[in-house]
Structures are given as C-alpha cells and as structure tokens.
C-alpha cells in the first residue's frame, strides 16, 4: 500500500485544519471565522477571503 503526503492548511489563505490527517483520510481545511471559502477541493477549503 502506498502512502501519500498529507495536505496542509495555509493560514496565509485564511484556512485552518478542521480534521487532521490520519492513515485513512487527508487533512480537511475550513475557512477561518469571518471568512468565506473561495476555492474548494477534496481536502476542503484551500483559500478564503
């Protein structure tokens, strides 16, 4: 079985990790309070404003 690197939530894009990476799922990011998500991928929100 091949492992993939975990995604990260870039605070510079106003997102935070709602769910940390685990052996069975990737990190899931969400917009910080007061921001709305501009870009969504399978790992959640990647950019908020």
Task: Provide the CATH number for the domain around residue 38.
Answer: 2.10.50
Number of domains the chain is built from: 1
Q: Domain for residue 27, yes or no?
A: yes
Q: Domain for residue 39, yes or no?
A: yes
Report DSSP state, residue 32. Answer: P
Residues in the chain, pLDDT under 70: 1
Q: Domain for residue 44, yes or no?
A: yes
Q: What distance in Å separates the CA atoms of residue 49 and residue 47, rounded to the nearest whole number?
A: 7
**Whether the predicted model's global pTM rises above the 0.75 cut:** yes
> Domain of 30?
11-48
pLDDT score, position 11: 94
* Dihedral class, residue 43 (left if φ above 0, else alpha if ψ from -120 to 50, else beta): alpha
The three-class DSSP label of residue 5 is coil
The three-class DSSP label of residue 19 is strand
The three-class DSSP label of residue 48 is strand
């Amino acid at each position: 079985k091949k492992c993939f690197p975990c995604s990260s939530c870039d605070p510079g894009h106003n997102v935070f990790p709602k769910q940390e990476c685990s052996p069975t799922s990737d990190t899931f990011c969400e917009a910080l309070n007061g921001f709305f998500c501009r870009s969504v991928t399978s790992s959640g929100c990647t950019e908020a404003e």
